[in-house]
Structure 1
Amino acid sequence: MRLDIRRRTQRHYWPFAAIFSVCALATPAAAQQQPRQIPTFIVDASWPHVPDKYKLGDISSIAIDAQDNAYVLHRPRTLKPEDAAKAAPPVVVFDKAGQFIKAWGGDGAGYDWPQREHGIYIDPKGFAWIGGNQCPTSGTPGLKPVADDALLKFTTDGKLALQIGKSNASKGDGDTANLHRAADAWTPRGSNEIFVADGYGNHRVIVFDADTGAFKRSWGAFGKPAGGVDHCEITRVKDFPPGDGLPDFNIAHSIRVSNDGTVYLADRENRRLQTFTSDGKFVNQLRVTGGPFAASLAFSPDDAQQFLYVGSGKAITIVERKTLEVLGKVEVDKQIGGGHHIQTDSKGNLYIAQTDKGMQRLLFNGMSAAAVR
């Protein structure tokens, strides 16, 4: 595994009791230190309880609200023809015990519902943000040949509150009115801005006023103006150059903004995590090019948000958030993968949306020393 990191030095720890250890990845410098306490998990085999009347397609994203209810975004159009009549609406909501609450979403009057559902996020005010990543030339059966260039804001009962952009309207990375196949969104605590990983067609972070949808600012990789070529097909990187990597984002796939205002962007196909100030100045990056890395992001729920979870193929990498030091990974028995998108709840449980394998909750199982090598 090739790992490149620019480090800062401050360290904090999350005080929970030790339970058991997980496999760890460590830099040579970290190997000289005492083992860290890191979170551990076990699979919750009973979560969730999907009503018999419903079938769910590919699970793309899971959002958690302030009551620890889980909002599951799936793709009804991916169901087999024999299951289509039982397709659940795209948003299916479960309580913290995994019991079904309600379902909503889909095509409707007055808004451009995405053809290919991608990301869902519940902001601090309790609104649900939804985007899609349909490409007009994908040729996917059952999907309209349009680009998902809108970001939708709903109440958690499915009533439209705001639409930013319009389907099939993007003019590229310089367009301040439309998204282009946006992947994820986040609002930091105490802010009224929505930060968007934009995404599959564009190559940028873009920020809007969360109430009005007014454009605020945008930037690309390393804090530079956004650029890159719009490909319908995902461009897989085969040879990773040394140093900082390629100049533009290649699938800006997941975004989080910490309580201290640091923006974390998962640049999936470049296998790197980049961090920025909230106004777009580049701060730091972590590249792990030996295998899939930086598909998804989630914070630990402590106020300091000590740990950043990073989806990495079959596992979830545990990173010390402030220093970007790799501490270990979550890879437990019967885990379905590292997540297309991931999220945590107030108890520290991890939720995995894995498009090809379904969804899963990993229960936080206490802290244990990482087995550094």
Structure 2
Amino acid sequence: MASWHGCASFTRALASVSHVFSILIAVTAFVLPGTADAGNVPTFAVDPAWPKPLPNNWILGQIGGITVDWQGHIWIIHRPRSLTDDEKGASLTPPRSKCCVSAPPVLEFDADGNLLRSWGGPGPGYEWVGREHGIEVDERGFVWIGGNADNDNAILKFTLDGKFVAQIGRIAPSLGSNDTTQLGKPAETAIDKEANEIYVADGYGNRRVIVFDATTLAYKRHWGAYGNKPEDAKQAAFDPKAPVSQQFGNPVHCVKIANDGLVYVCDRINNRIQVFRKDGTFVKEFFFEKNTLGNGAVWDIAIWPDPKQTYLLSADGENNEIRVIRREDGSVVGSFGRNGRNAGQFHWVHAMAVDAAGNVYTAEVDTGKRIQKFKLTSDALK
């Protein structure tokens, strides 16, 4: 009998160790063998306590965008109208339940998860977007947001405190991918600080990248896939066996600018990142999980903050993982995440950002409706 109890105790202990090990595997980046020095490849562990609970009985809807500003603060834009009645029960008349009330659309957090400020929604002098999508904060102290509902064909510019400044385009029907005054459900923006330009991944309606002066908002230039003139003709459904498309699919979901002047664009449905010079000259492209159907394999990009910007991190909302990619040649050297709703897992990981310390912040749409933080666990910033 004593021997049986000893065996059972050992079995339980072994199961406990195996469980802990499986959790660590689930939330730490997997480094692919033979591709890079494991100590230099970014790896991560989820911080399950981030962010801290919201005040005022607030709750978040689908997260339409996330970014990190020059101070290391994390900004998100979420979709209050995506909340179901059971989620926003306290705001109904009469109240359905004790919880909850929608948070304002725009929220700013510090790296510890403390809420610093919040604002957003309809106001005097401007039209708010129909479905919030994309947020960027520049070092001059302006917040840029967009939307991807019908007629959300504008980018709105605000101060850090939410005072409306100006907008590009209008909340009105799109005029197509070669119009220079109106946008087409823009997905995301990026700021070129030195040139004082804003790049727009435009987007869910149009098939282009378009660039404006960030102060005067004057049109500068635009281009489509491979630097081609964009076309709006209906495209066939993505087929991994077909020749690669010479046009961007819908959506053109992200745009990022590296320190060396290369511009990275997420062509989500076509499972590729295309790389350009700032004038729209095509440089190269990288394909990932080419057999992915559905909503595609390339949803967002973050540029790694080491001096050489050695890596790209790429969010894949269909396969629900984040890839670590060598920026020079597009090779995948690691990944983390899987489909699921536990800490460290994703359901439609929609957008991502990285701070100067190498911490990664992720945002989920659909039923995910959450943000997560992953702390850097390797020596990958030298």
Deviation by residue 1:5-47 (Cα, 9 ceiling, x = unmatched): xxxxxxxxxxxxxxx9743458xxx76x776731010001111
Deviation by residue 1:85-132 (Cα, 9 ceiling, x = unmatched): 211110011122111111101111212211000100112323111000
Q: In the alignment, what sits opposite 1:361?
A: 373
Q: In the alignment, what sits opposite 1:320?
A: 326
Q: Which residue identity lines up with residue 224 of structure 1 in the other structure? A: N
The higher radius of gyration belongs to 2
Give TM-score scaled by structure 1 length: 0.83
* Alignment partners' CA distance in 2, 1:45 and 1:187: 31
Q: Which residue identity lines up with residue 272 of structure 2 in the other structure? A: R
* Alignment partners' CA distance in 1, 2:255 and 2:359: 19
Q: In the alignment, what sits opposite 1:342?
A: 352
Higher helix proportion: 2
Secondary structure of 2:372's aligned partner = strand
Q: Which residue identity lines up with residue 216 of structure 2 in the other structure? A: T
Identity of aligned residues (%): 38
Deviation at residue 227 of structure 1 after TM alignment: 1.2
Q: In the alignment, what sits opposite 2:248?
A: 249
* Alignment partners' CA distance in 2, 1:183 and 1:114: 12
Gaps of 5+ in 2: 1-26, 92-100
- The structure whose RCO (Cα within 8 Å, separation 6+) is larger is 1
Deviation at residue 191 of structure 1 after TM alignment: 2.3
Secondary structure of 1:153's aligned partner = strand
Secondary structure of 2:377's aligned partner = strand
> Are residue 39 (structure 1) and residue 42 (structure 2) matched?
yes
1:129 to 144, 168, 191: 144
Deviation at residue 290 of structure 1 after TM alignment: 3.0
Question: 158-167 or 193-202: which moved more?
Answer: 158-167
Rate the CA distance shift 1:172–1:108 in 2: closer, same or farther, 3 A. same
Question: 184-193 or 150-159: which moved more?
Answer: 184-193
Q: In the alignment, what sits opposite 2:21?
A: none
Paired residues in the alignment total 329
Question: 44-53 or 72-81: which moved more?
Answer: 44-53
Q: Is the 8 A contact 1:188 1:258 kept in 2?
A: no
Q: In the alignment, what sits opposite 1:140?
A: none
* Alignment partners' CA distance in 2, 1:78 and 1:96: 26
Secondary structure of 2:226's aligned partner = helix
Q: Is the 8 A contact 1:201 1:230 kept in 2?
A: no
1:107 to 104, 107, 122: 122
- Within 5 A, what are the aligned runs for 1:1-373? 22-24=29-31, 37-49=40-52, 50-82=54-86, 83=88, 85=91, 86-135=101-150, 147-229=151-233, 237=238, 239-241=239-241, 245-250=244-249, 251-288=251-288, 289-291=290-292, 292-312=296-316, 313-331=319-337, 334-337=343-346, 339-356=349-366, 357=368, 358-367=370-379
Q: Is the 8 A contact 2:29 2:45 kept in 1?
A: no
* Alignment partners' CA distance in 1, 2:38 and 2:111: 33
Q: Which residue identity lines up with residue 46 of structure 2 in the other structure? A: V
Q: Is the 8 A contact 1:188 1:261 kept in 2?
A: no
Gaps of 5+ in 1: 1-19, 136-146, 369-373
